[in-house]
């Protein structure tokens, strides 16, 4: 019996040693780049944001690995390294996301994490990223507070923050001669909604000091029922109603407000209104002023890079890309450029996170939405050009965007070292329009 037990222990030990050896060999032999991708894959934010973003990301990673992306992104993968993506669902709240982030970094040993749509998650992750020294690219979230209230070594945001969206809309309203003598807002009750309304209302007050705030509504996120809010907005008789609602909330708000005549009675502006257009189609109201959080989708610039991306996405999914896939691809492009810049410096070896972070700082790169410059937050926060337009029905009866005005990045983003709201309050000093 003892003999058998000893044999069993011996065989088990050999097997465990072999498995460990194989594991170590694989870890050492990994020549690719492991990327954790975090976005909403379930819940109300999945359909309008997470899924199209990941669709764009998946497609772009596939084309990068095949070397089928046009210059300057034509080198395979990241600097020749094959990209392996590990998608993670962002739903569940900030506490869960911090745990998921730790899992990605400590258990899955990813080389970088790209993710986060929710401003709440973007506020929670960066301090953990720096604690773990994990290279992290925030690709979508909008709150300006990430780099205005703190600084991080390993965290970068490759898309402009929400201040740009709301400053540009205020400027657009004035340039197009809209009556902004009174404004009202309906924005979700968390960082994104609060910051968006603050940036918009302060911008309007600065550009037109006599403007009066009639109503400020902050329903809870994912509330879905807006009948009472629509009555309150219509009762306020404000000339302009501003909203940064997104996803299912924006879809429900439009469906409930349209038959009640809100869009005919007042000028409605949606700071991030493009991403529900593919789903709503002709149910989207006419005459709405909207932004896409950058020059994306129907407001994208007429460049070769954009034409390539727009067509690739259309061919793959049969629907035009709105802001979410653009922003994820923008994040991937930024990361690729930073990695390849770091590789140029270290002789072509796989760069470590400190080398990538150093290369990322202050980086400038082209994207389908225009030139992205990591200029704020000491080189960690992007600025980019913006576009605002108005919805209209084309001759076939389809909703499209017209009257597009483009804004230079330096016109609608604060300079480095100044908080967005302080810059607005100071009257946009140094704005290059």
Partner 1 sequence: MVDEILTIVLDGAIYASWLFIVALGLTFVFGVLKILNIAHGGIYALGAYSTATLVPIFYSLGMPEQLVILAMLVSALAVAIVITPIMERGILRRFYGQDEVLIVLVTYAIYLVLEDVQKLIWGMNSLYVSEPRELLGALEFGSLYYVGYDLALIGLAIFCGLFLWFVLNKTQSGKIVLAVIHNPEISGCMGVNINKVYLAAFFIGAFLAALAGSFTAPLISVQVGISVAVVIESFAVVIIGGLGSIPGAVIGALIIGMARAACVHKLPEAEIFIMYFCMAGMLIFKPKGLFQGAQARKI
Q: Of 67, 72, 93, 261, which one interacts with partner 1 (CB under 8 A)? A: 261
Nearer to partner 1, 176 or 220 (CB): 220
How far the first Cα of the chain sits from its last, in Å, is 87
Cα→Cα distances 53→17, 50, 300, Å: 42, 5, 16
- Tell me the site size for partner 1, rule CB under 8 A: 37
Q: How many Å apart are CA 368 and CA 76, to the nearest integer?
A: 19
Burial class (CB in 10 A: 0-12, 13-18, 19+), 342: buried
Q: Is 419 helix (H, G, I), strand (E, B) or coil?
A: coil
Using CB under 8 A as the binding rule, whether residue 216 contacts partner 1 is answered as yes
Hey, which bits of 75-164 come out as E strands? 83-89, 112-115, 136-138, 155-157
One-letter-per-residue 3-state SS of 48-82? HHHHHHHHHHHHHHHHHHHCCCCCCCCCCCECCEC
Give the nearest distance from C-beta 50 to partner 1 in angstroms: 8
Give the nearest distance from C-beta 46 to partner 1 in angstroms: 5
Residues 178-197: x where in contact with partner 1 by CB under 8 A, - otherwise, as a string? -----------x--------
Nearer to partner 1, 236 or 384 (CB): 236
Using CB under 8 A as the binding rule, whether residue 87 contacts partner 1 is answered as no
Nearer to partner 1, 234 or 338 (CB): 234
Q: Of 62, 76, 206, 260, which one interacts with partner 1 (CB under 8 A)? A: 260
Span near partner 1 by CB under 8 A; candidates 168-176, 252-260, 367-375, 401-409:
252-260
Residues 6+ apart with CB under 8 A from 303: 366, 368, 370
Using CB under 8 A as the binding rule, whether residue 231 contacts partner 1 is answered as yes
Residues 6+ apart with CB under 8 A from 210: 181
H helical segments located in 176-322: 191-207, 227-236, 247-257, 262-265, 277-280, 304-317
Q: Of 35, 37, 46, 83, which one interacts with partner 1 (CB under 8 A)? A: 46
* Cis amide prior to 333 (ω within 30 degrees): no
Using CB under 8 A as the binding rule, whether residue 117 contacts partner 1 is answered as no
What is the length of the chain?
Answer: 433
The residue behind tokens 């749509």 is: 117
Nearer to partner 1, 148 or 229 (CB): 229
Span near partner 1 by CB under 8 A; candidates 131-139, 253-261, 327-335, 410-418:
253-261
Span near partner 1 by CB under 8 A; candidates 136-144, 219-227, 293-301, 399-407:
219-227
Q: How many Å apart are CA 201 and CA 28, to the nearest integer?
A: 54
Nearer to partner 1, 40 or 423 (CB): 40
Using CB under 8 A as the binding rule, whether residue 227 contacts partner 1 is answered as yes
Using CB under 8 A as the binding rule, whether residue 217 contacts partner 1 is answered as yes
State both tokens at 302: 């007429």
Give the nearest distance from C-beta 379 to partner 1 in angstroms: 36
Residues 232-251: x where in contact with partner 1 by CB under 8 A, - otherwise, as a string? x-xx------------x--x
Residues 6+ apart with CB under 8 A from 43: 91
Nearer to partner 1, 258 or 408 (CB): 258
Using CB under 8 A as the binding rule, whether residue 51 contacts partner 1 is answered as yes
Nearer to partner 1, 297 or 377 (CB): 297
Using CB under 8 A as the binding rule, whether residue 220 contacts partner 1 is answered as yes
Using CB under 8 A as the binding rule, whether residue 259 contacts partner 1 is answered as yes
Nearer to partner 1, 245 or 339 (CB): 245
Q: Of 35, 38, 39, 48, which one interacts with partner 1 (CB under 8 A)? A: 48
Q: Of 31, 68, 283, 311, which one interacts with partner 1 (CB under 8 A)? A: 283
Span near partner 1 by CB under 8 A; candidates 121-129, 258-266, 333-341, 424-432:
258-266
Cα→Cα distances 338→139, 207, 371, Å: 15, 38, 15
State both tokens at 196: 């968006």
Using CB under 8 A as the binding rule, whether residue 398 contacts partner 1 is answered as no
Using CB under 8 A as the binding rule, whether residue 143 contacts partner 1 is answered as no
Q: How many Å apart are CA 7 and CA 389, to the nearest integer?
A: 76
Q: Of 30, 32, 47, 178, which one interacts with partner 1 (CB under 8 A)? A: 47
Picking from 148, 203, 151, 154, the residue whose alpha carbon sits closest to that of residue 180 is 203
The sheet carrying 381-383 orders its strands as 83-89, 33-39, 112-115, 136-138, 155-157, 381-383, 370-376, 364-367
Query: Can you give the binding site for partner 1, defined by CB under 8 A?
Result: 41-44, 46-48, 51, 189, 215-220, 222-225, 227-229, 231-232, 234-235, 248, 251-252, 255-256, 259-261, 279-280, 283
């Amino acid at each position: 019996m003892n003999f058998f037990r000893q044999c069993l222990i011996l065989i088990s030990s050999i097997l465990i040693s072999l498995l460990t050896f194989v594991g170590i060999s694989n870890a050492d032999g990994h020549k690719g780049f492991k990327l954790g991708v975090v976005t909403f894959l379930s819940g109300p934010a999945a359909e309008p944001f997470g899924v199209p973003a990941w669709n764009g990301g998946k497609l772009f990673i596939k084309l990068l690995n095949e070397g089928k992306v046009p210059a300057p992104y034509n080198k395979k993968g990241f600097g020749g390294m094959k990209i392996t993506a590990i998608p993670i669902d962002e739903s569940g709240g900030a506490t869960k996301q911090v745990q998921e982030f730790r899992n990605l970094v400590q258990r899955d040993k990813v080389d970088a994490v790209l993710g986060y749509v929710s401003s709440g998650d973007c506020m929670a992750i960066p301090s953990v990223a720096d604690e773990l020294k994990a290279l992290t690219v925030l690709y979508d979230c909008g709150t300006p507070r990430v780099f205005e209230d703190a600084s991080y070594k390993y965290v970068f945001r490759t898309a402009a923050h929400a201040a740009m969206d709301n400053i540009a809309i205020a400027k657009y309203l004035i340039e197009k001669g809209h009556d902004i003598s009174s404004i009202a807002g309906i924005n979700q009750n968390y960082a994104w909604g609060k910051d968006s309304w603050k940036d918009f209302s302060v911008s309007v007050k600065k550009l037109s000091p006599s403007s009066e705030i009639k109503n400020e509504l902050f329903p809870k996120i994912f509330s879905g029922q807006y009948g009472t809010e629509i009555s309150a907005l219509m009762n306020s008789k404000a000339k302009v109603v501003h909203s940064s609602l997104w996803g299912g909330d924006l879809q429900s708000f439009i469906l409930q407000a349209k038959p009640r005549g809100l869009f005919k009675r007042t000028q409605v502006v949606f700071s991030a209104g493009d991403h529900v257009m593919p789903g709503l189609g002709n149910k989207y109201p006419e005459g709405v002023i909207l932004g896409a959080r950058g020059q994306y989708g129907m407001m994208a610039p007429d460049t070769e890079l954009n034409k390539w991306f727009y067509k690739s996405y259309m061919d793959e999914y049969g629907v035009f890309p709105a802001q979410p896939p653009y922003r994820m691809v923008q994040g991937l492009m930024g990361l690729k450029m930073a990695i390849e810049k770091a590789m140029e410096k270290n002789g072509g070896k796989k760069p470590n996170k400190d080398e990538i972070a150093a290369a990322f700082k202050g980086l400038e790169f082209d994207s389908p939405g225009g030139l992205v410059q990591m200029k704020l937050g000491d080189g960690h926060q992007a600025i980019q050009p913006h576009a605002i337009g108005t919805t209209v029905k084309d001759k076939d009866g389809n909703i499209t965007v017209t009257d597009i005005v483009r804004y230079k990045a330096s016109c609608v983003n604060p300079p480095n070292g100044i908080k967005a709201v302080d810059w607005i309050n100071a009257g946009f000093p140094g704005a290059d329009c």
